[in-house]
Structure 1
């Protein structure tokens, strides 16, 4: 979008008036944005905290830490050796935590 720098600019008072008019017009439009949802369908896929998940199975395959990986002593995430920033007193620290 091209800008015409030679056109007359609005002063601060005109800008405030325009903003007020826009806000008032938007206020009238807000009331029509309601969504009608059936409460039973909305709660169907939700699980409450503390729900019994003992019957659920873990569908993710977990691998042990590999020889070229380390666990950061600050964030406790497993990183590749290329992410190693420093080693202090046997504590390995990743680049993100060292920054």
Structure 2
């Protein structure tokens, strides 16, 4: 940034007065931190290309539980048996959820 060495310099007192005055004007401006737009209304107005999936049909093939996996009682993710970190009663917990 270029500095104009010929310009009159402000004292520390003048600098602090300027910043106090700036703060006062910002405080008096009631609408400085407000946003008029409602986020929910704005999100509902967005139209994404290809977003109409009403004619689509979802087909999911569910596999039976495998002998080498378990469902974590904390995060409910299906994980490999090597990820069992803790048993609490009949519940098994992975390393991420144990603790």
Q: TM-score range by the shorter chain?
A: 0.3 to 0.5
Higher helix share: 1
Bigger radius of gyration, 1 or 2?
Answer: 2
TM-score by length of 1: 0.44
TM-score by length of 2: 0.44
